[in-house]
Structure 1
C-alpha cells in the first residue's frame, strides 16, 4: 500500500500508476463523464490484485445496467479484498456487493454506517444520494429530508472547494424545497468542475424548481455540446430542456429536442432514464393538448419490451404502465397492477399501494375517465414521493391529478391545487391553466 485516493484514504495497491488511473476513473464515474471504464480497466490491468478498482468497475457496470458484468467484478473484488484489504476497503466492497446483488435495504443501512465511519469515502456516500439513489428508491416518504440530513451531518468533513460534495449538497436542498440555497450551492459545484454531468443535471433541476426555465434552457444549450453523446446523462439533461420548451408552450422545439437527444433510438442513457424520459415527455406533450407524432409511443413501447418486464421497481413500474396505457395495451397494465398488488399484500414492495394506484390511474386517464383517475390519485397524492426519482419527474403524476380535476369539472379542487403549485414554483403553464379555469 503506497497511495491514497482523492480524499486521502489509503489504497491497497503496489502500483502508483494503478492508483492514479483509479483516482481518475472514480472522478469520471462520479461526474457521469465518459472515460471511466477505460481508466478503471487500466487500473485493473496494471494491478490485477487491486480490489477497489474491480469494485468501482462493478459500480459502473451496475449504473449501465450491465448486471452480469457487475456481479462478476464485485465477486472478484470480494475475493481480493478478503486477502489483503483494509477494514475500510472490506466494508466498501461489501456495501457495493449488497447494492449490486439487489439487497437495497441492507445496502442502504450499511452505506450509512460506512459513511459515518469513513465519510470521505465518496463512492459509498454517493449510493444513498441522487434521484435514483438508495434513499430515493427506499420507499421512504421523507427521503428528500433524509438526503439533506445526511449531507449536512457530514459537511464538516468536506471543504468548500469539493466539487462532488458541494454539488450533492445543493441537489439535496433543491429537492427538499430549499431551492434558492440549493441553486447557490449547485452553481458553486458546477463552477468548480464544469465537466460534470451530475452538476449540470442538478443545476437544471434547481432552475426548473425555481421557475427559471429560460436559465435552464440557456445552461443546457451552452453545456450539452461539450458532453459526448455516449455520456449516460446526455439524453436526460436534454429532456430537461424539452420540458422547459413545453413550459413556454413551444411544442415544436420540445419535439425537436426529443427527436435529437431523448427518444429511445438515440439515447445512450440508463434504461430507467430512457423509459421514464420517453414516457413522461410524451405524456406531457399529449396531456398538454399537443399532437404526439405517429410512431413515437410505439417506439417507446418497443424499447420497453426489453426491460422492466417484472414488476417491483416502483419508479419503472409507473412509467411502464403509462407507455402500455398509451398504446392501448390494457392487459399489460392490468397484469402489472395485479403483480404489484400481490407484492404490496406480502410487504415486498417498499413504496406500497401508491404504485399500483398510479398505474390504474394512468389507464383511466388514457381512457378519458378523468373522474375515476382523480378518485384513484387524490387519496394517494401525498404518497407519490415514495416511488423515488426527482420532483420534476414525479410532477407528471401531479399533472395527471390536476388535469383530471379540470376535465371532470371539479374546478374547486383544480384551483386549490394550482394555488399550491403557483405558490411553490412560478410556472407559465400553471398560469395558463389558471386562466382557463377562470374563464
Structure 2
C-alpha cells in the first residue's frame, strides 16, 4: 500500500495521481493557491477516489449556496469509486458526503473516527477544525489537535493548528509556544504566523505585532486569497491601534480588497476592515458602494451566520435594498435552518442582524437592543474572537452615539486592558471623560495618545 507524504495509506498506483494528492494536501495545509490544482487533477484522473473527494471538498469550501451543486459531480465520482479503495478513503468520502448534505454532526463524527485510526491525516484534522470553528466549539479543536500530537509532532502544520486552537481557548502562553514551535519547524507556516498575531493582539503587544508581521511578509508568497488578505488584515488592526490610519486604509485598497472580490472570506474581511476604519474616524469615501456591488449576489445567502451578518452590514451600510432581502432570509433561517444550527440563527444571528441593520441606518437604540441580545452567545456564529470583536465595537459606538456615556466609559476602560495605548480608544476616552466632566481622566487619556 502506498502512502501520501504524511504517511497515510492511499490506494492509487499512479505516480502522477499520488503527486497530485500530495500537492493538494500540502498546499491546503499551507493555505497555498496551488491547492486549487486538485480540480484539474481530478479531471485528468477521473478514476482516482481521493482526487475527486478532494475536488469536492474544495468546492464545498466555496461557502456559497451553490457549493454543494458544484461539488456534486466530483462527489458522485468519488462515491462510485469508493467501494474498492482503502477504508480511510471510503471514510473520507463519507465525511464529504455528510458535509455536502449539511449534516455537520455526522461529518464531525466521521472525522473523529478517521483521526482515531489515522492520526497523521492532518487534512481531515484541518477540515474538522473548520467545522468546529464555524460553530464556535474551540475546545473541540484543541481536543482533536492534541489527540494526534504524539503521532504528528514533527509536522509544522499541526503545531500551527494547535496554536490557533489554544488561542481561541484563551490559553495564550500555550498558543505562543505552539506557534513558535511551528515556525521553528517551518518558517513559512502562515497559520502559525496568524495564531501568533492573534496572541499579540489579545495581549496588547501592538508594536511587537507590527514588527513580527512586517518581518514575516516576505513569506506571504503563493498563498490563497483568504490567507494573504487575512494576514494583511491583522497587520491593519495593529496599524489602527497605532493611529496609522493611512497605512491601514492602504492595506484595504492594496491587499484586503484587491484579490478575489467574489469570495466569501475576502468579502467579510473587507467589510470588517472598512467598518473598523470608520469606527476609528476614518473617511472611507465611496468604498462601501464598491464593496456592496459584489455583495448584492449574497442577498439570499445564509450558508453561515458569521458570513451572512457581515454581508448584511456591508449592504446596509451602502444603503442597498438587498439588505432588507437578506434580513428577510435570516428571519426564514431562524425558522427553517437545519436542527443543528436553527437555534443559533433564531436566538443569536437574528437579533444581531436586526441590530446591525439598525446601526448602519443610524437607529442606535435599536442597534443596542439587537446586538446586546446576541452578544452573550455570539461565539455560536463562528469566527475568531478578534473577528467577533467588530460587534462589540459597534455596540460601543452605539452607546456613544446614543449618549449612554457611563456605559461607554465602562466598556472603554475594559478594552484598555488589552489595547492600553490604542489611539482610537484613548481618543474616545478623552472625549467621554470631557463629556462626563472628568477633566483629569480626559487629560490622562490624551497623555497616553502622546
TM normalised by structure 1 equals 0.88
Q: Which has the higher helix share?
A: 2
In structure 2, the CA distance between the partners of 1:44 and 1:324, relative to structure 1 (3 Å rule), is: closer
Output the CA distance in 2 between the equivalents of 1:18 and 1:347.
Answer: 39
Alignment of 1:137-216 (within 5 A): 137-138=134-135, 140=136, 143-159=137-153, 161-216=154-209
Output the CA distance in 2 between the equivalents of 1:151 and 1:420.
Answer: 32
Output the CA distance in 1 between the equivalents of 2:170 and 2:308.
Answer: 26
1:310 maps onto 2:310 in alignment: no
Instruction: Return the match for 1:273 from 255, 265, 271.
Output: 265
1:30 to partner: Cα distance: 1.1
In structure 2, the CA distance between the partners of 1:282 and 1:146, relative to structure 1 (3 Å rule), is: same
Aligned position for 1:395: 389
Instruction: Provide the aligned length of Structure 1 versus Structure 2.
Output: 425
Aligned position for 2:446: none
Aligned position for 1:438: 433
1:187-236: per-residue Cα shift (whole Å, max 9, x none)?
A: 22133223333233333222222222333333333333443466232122
1:53 maps onto 2:51 in alignment: yes
Q: Secondary structure at the match of 2:297?
A: coil
Does the CA contact (< 8 Å) of 2:25 and 2:35 recur in 1?
yes
Aligned position for 2:102: 102
1:339 maps onto 2:322 in alignment: no
Aligned position for 2:412: 418
Output the CA distance in 2 between the equivalents of 1:270 and 1:388.
Answer: 21
Structure 2 regions of 5+ residues with no counterpart? 435-450
Alignment of 1:1-400 (within 5 A): 1=1, 3-38=2-37, 41=40, 45=44, 48-64=46-62, 67=67, 68-82=69-83, 84-129=84-129, 133-138=130-135, 140=136, 143-159=137-153, 161-228=154-221, 231-232=224-225, 233-263=227-257, 266-268=258-260, 271-294=263-286, 296-307=287-298, 309-329=300-320, 331-346=321-336, 348=338, 349-352=342-345, 353-400=347-394
Q: Secondary structure at the match of 2:131?
A: coil
Output the CA distance in 2 between the equivalents of 1:229 and 1:24.
Answer: 13
Does the CA contact (< 8 Å) of 2:183 and 2:192 recur in 1?
yes
Does the CA contact (< 8 Å) of 2:298 and 2:326 recur in 1?
no
1:286-307: per-residue Cα shift (whole Å, max 9, x none)?
A: 122111122x111110011234
Output the CA distance in 1 between the equivalents of 2:96 and 2:38.
Answer: 19
Q: Secondary structure at the match of 2:416?
A: helix
Does the CA contact (< 8 Å) of 1:136 and 1:387 recur in 2?
no
In structure 2, the CA distance between the partners of 1:210 and 1:308, relative to structure 1 (3 Å rule), is: farther
1:128 to partner: Cα distance: 2.3
Output the CA distance in 2 between the equivalents of 1:127 and 1:392.
Answer: 21
Output the CA distance in 1 between the equivalents of 2:416 and 2:239.
Answer: 18
1:165-186: per-residue Cα shift (whole Å, max 9, x none)?
A: 1100010011111123212211
Does the CA contact (< 8 Å) of 1:236 and 1:269 recur in 2?
no
Does the CA contact (< 8 Å) of 2:368 and 2:399 recur in 1?
yes
In structure 2, the CA distance between the partners of 1:20 and 1:367, relative to structure 1 (3 Å rule), is: closer
Output the CA distance in 2 between the equivalents of 1:416 and 1:339.
Answer: 35
Does the CA contact (< 8 Å) of 2:32 and 2:222 recur in 1?
no
In structure 2, the CA distance between the partners of 1:43 and 1:278, relative to structure 1 (3 Å rule), is: closer
Structure 1 regions of 5+ residues with no counterpart? none
Output the CA distance in 1 between the equivalents of 2:433 and 2:390.
Answer: 23
Does the CA contact (< 8 Å) of 2:38 and 2:51 recur in 1?
no
**Deviating more after overlay: 205-214 vs 233-242:** 205-214
